[in-house]
Structure 1
Amino acid sequence: MAREVIKVTAGLAGLAVGLTACGGGESASGADGPPRDGGTLRIVGSSDVEHLDTASVASVGAYGLSRTYARTLFGTRASNDFAETVPVQADVAARIPTRENGDIGKDGRTYTIRLRKGVQWNTSPVRPVTAHDFVRGFERLCNPAAPSSGKGYYISTLKGMDGFCRGFGDVDAKDAAAIARYQRDHEAEGVRAKDDATLVFRLRRPASDFLNLLSLPFTAAAPQEYDRYVPDGPEFRQHTLSDGPYQISEYKPGVSFLLTRNPAWRREGDPLRERHVDRIQITFGQDSAETVQQQLEQGTADLAWDQPVPTAAVSRLRGDPRFAIRDTPSNTPYLVFNTRSPNNGGALGRREVRQALEYAVDRSALIKIVGGPSVAQPLHTVIPPGNIGYAASNRYATPGESGDPAKCRELLGKAGHAKLTLKFPYRTNSVHKLIAQSIGQNLAACGVKTELTPDTGGSFYSSTIAVPAKAREGKWDIAAPGWTPDWYGNNGRSIIQPLFDGRTYGPNSTNYGGYDNIQVNGLIDGALTAPDPSRAAGYWQAADQKIMEDAAIVPLLDRAHTIFRSSRVRGAVFVPTAAGYDYTRLWLAD
Structure 2
Amino acid sequence: MTAREMFKVTVGLTGLVVGLAGCAGGGDDASAAGRPQSGGTLRVVGSSDVEHLDPASVSSVGAYGLARTFARTLFGTRASNDFQETVPVRPDVAERLPTRENGGISKDRRTYTVRLREGVQWNTTPPRPVTAHDFVRGFGRLCNPAAPSMGKGYFISTLKGMEAFCRGYGGVDAKDAGAIAAYQREHEIEGVRAKDDRTLVFRLRRPASDFLNLLTLPYTAAAPKEYDAYVPDGPEFRRHTISNGPYQITEYRPGLSYLLAHNPAWRAGADPVRERHVAKIRITLGQDSPEAVQQQIEQGSADLAWDQPVPTSAIPRLRDDPRFAIRETPNNSPYLVFNTRGPGNGGALGKREVRQALEYAIDRSALIKIVGGPSVARPLHTVIPPGNSGYAAVNHYPTPGESGDPAKCRELLAKAGHAKLRLKFPYRTNSVHKLIAESIAGNLDACGVDTDLVADSGGSFYAGTLGTPARGAAGEWDIAAPGWVPDWYGNNGRSIIQPLFDGRTRGQNTTNYGGYDNPQVNALIDAALTAPGADRAAGYWQQADQKIMEDAAIVPLLDRAQTLFHSSRVHGALYVPTTAAYDYTRLWLS
CA shift, 1:454, in A, is 0.3
Tell me if the contact between 2:16 and 2:386 (Cα under 8 Å) persists in the aligned partners: no
Q: Which amino acid aligns with 1:12?
A: G
TM-score (normalised: structure 1): 0.97
Q: CA RMSD in A?
A: 1.0
- Which residue of structure 1 aligns with residue 361 of structure 2? 360
CA shift, 1:200, in A, is 0.1
- Which residue of structure 1 aligns with residue 4 of structure 2? none
Q: Structure 1 residue 150 and structure 2 residue 155: aligned?
A: no
Q: Which amino acid aligns with 1:257?
A: Y
- Which residue of structure 1 aligns with residue 181 of structure 2? 180
Q: Which amino acid aligns with 2:337?
A: V
Q: Which amino acid aligns with 2:428?
A: R
- Which residue of structure 1 aligns with residue 532 of structure 2? 531
Output aligned runs, 1:97-136, within 5 Å. Answer: 97-136=98-137
Output aligned runs, 1:196-275, within 5 Å. Answer: 196-275=197-276
Deviation string 1:384-403 (CA, Å, 9 cap, x unpaired) is: 00000000010000000000
CA shift, 1:27, in A, is 1.9
CA shift, 1:505, in A, is 1.0
Question: How far apart, CA to CA, are the structure 1 residues paired with 2:354 and 2:526?
Answer: 28
Q: Structure 1 residue 13 and structure 2 residue 13: aligned?
A: yes
Q: Which amino acid aligns with 1:14?
A: T
Secondary structure at 2:16 match in 1? helix
- Which residue of structure 2 aligns with residue 195 of structure 1? 196
Q: Structure 1 residue 439 and structure 2 residue 440: aligned?
A: yes
Tell me if the contact between 2:11 and 2:391 (Cα under 8 Å) persists in the aligned partners: no
Question: How far apart, CA to CA, are the structure 1 residues paired with 2:412 and 2:23?
Answer: 41
- Which residue of structure 2 aligns with residue 485 of structure 1? 486
CA shift, 1:25, in A, is 2.9
- Which residue of structure 2 aligns with residue 462 of structure 1? 463
Question: How far apart, CA to CA, are the structure 2 residues paired with 1:55 and 1:515?
Answer: 24
Structure 2 stretches lacking a partner, 5+ long = 1-9
- Which residue of structure 2 aligns with residue 28 of structure 1? 29
- Which residue of structure 2 aligns with residue 421 of structure 1? 422
CA shift, 1:13, in A, is 3.2
CA shift, 1:31, in A, is 1.4
Question: How far apart, CA to CA, are the structure 2 residues paired with 1:159 and 1:188?
Answer: 7
Spell out structure 1 runs of 4+ moving beyond 4 A.
17-21
Tell me if the contact between 1:19 and 1:386 (Cα under 8 Å) persists in the aligned partners: no
CA shift, 1:152, in A, is 0.2
Question: How far apart, CA to CA, are the structure 2 residues paired with 1:18 and 1:521?
Answer: 28
Tell me if the contact between 1:296 and 1:303 (Cα under 8 Å) persists in the aligned partners: yes
Question: How far apart, CA to CA, are the structure 2 residues paired with 1:469 and 1:17?
Answer: 40
Q: Which amino acid aligns with 1:112?
A: T
Aligned CA distance change for structure 1 residues 18 and 556 (closer, same or farther; 3 Å): closer
CA shift, 1:504, in A, is 1.1
TM-score (normalised: structure 2): 0.97
Q: Which amino acid aligns with 1:15?
A: G
CA shift, 1:458, in A, is 2.1
Q: Structure 1 residue 321 and structure 2 residue 318: aligned?
A: no
Secondary structure at 1:435 match in 2? helix
- Which residue of structure 2 aligns with residue 494 of structure 1? 495
Tell me if the contact between 1:497 and 1:524 (Cα under 8 Å) persists in the aligned partners: yes
- Which residue of structure 1 aligns with residue 5 of structure 2? none
Aligned length: 580
Question: How far apart, CA to CA, are the structure 2 residues paired with 1:165 and 1:477?
Answer: 30
Question: How far apart, CA to CA, are the structure 2 residues paired with 1:272 and 1:28?
Answer: 16
Tell me if the contact between 1:77 and 1:272 (Cα under 8 Å) persists in the aligned partners: yes
Secondary structure at 2:56 match in 1? helix
Question: How far apart, CA to CA, are the structure 2 residues paired with 1:388 and 1:254?
Answer: 37
Deviation string 1:484-530 (CA, Å, 9 cap, x unpaired) is: 00000000000000000000111101000000000000000000000
Structure 1 stretches lacking a partner, 5+ long = 1-9
Q: Which amino acid aligns with 2:42?
A: L
Q: Structure 1 residue 396 and structure 2 residue 401: aligned?
A: no
- Which residue of structure 2 aligns with residue 69 of structure 1? 70
Aligned CA distance change for structure 1 residues 391 and 11 (closer, same or farther; 3 Å): closer
Tell me if the contact between 2:336 and 2:556 (Cα under 8 Å) persists in the aligned partners: yes
Q: Which amino acid aligns with 2:369?
A: K
Tell me if the contact between 1:426 and 1:455 (Cα under 8 Å) persists in the aligned partners: yes
Question: How far apart, CA to CA, are the structure 1 residues paired with 2:16 and 2:369?
Answer: 26
CA shift, 1:70, in A, is 0.3
Question: How far apart, CA to CA, are the structure 2 residues paired with 1:334 and 1:18?
Answer: 19
- Which residue of structure 2 aligns with residue 553 of structure 1? 554
Q: Which amino acid aligns with 2:271?
A: D
Question: How far apart, CA to CA, are the structure 2 residues paired with 1:383 and 1:11?
Answer: 11
Secondary structure at 1:251 match in 2? strand
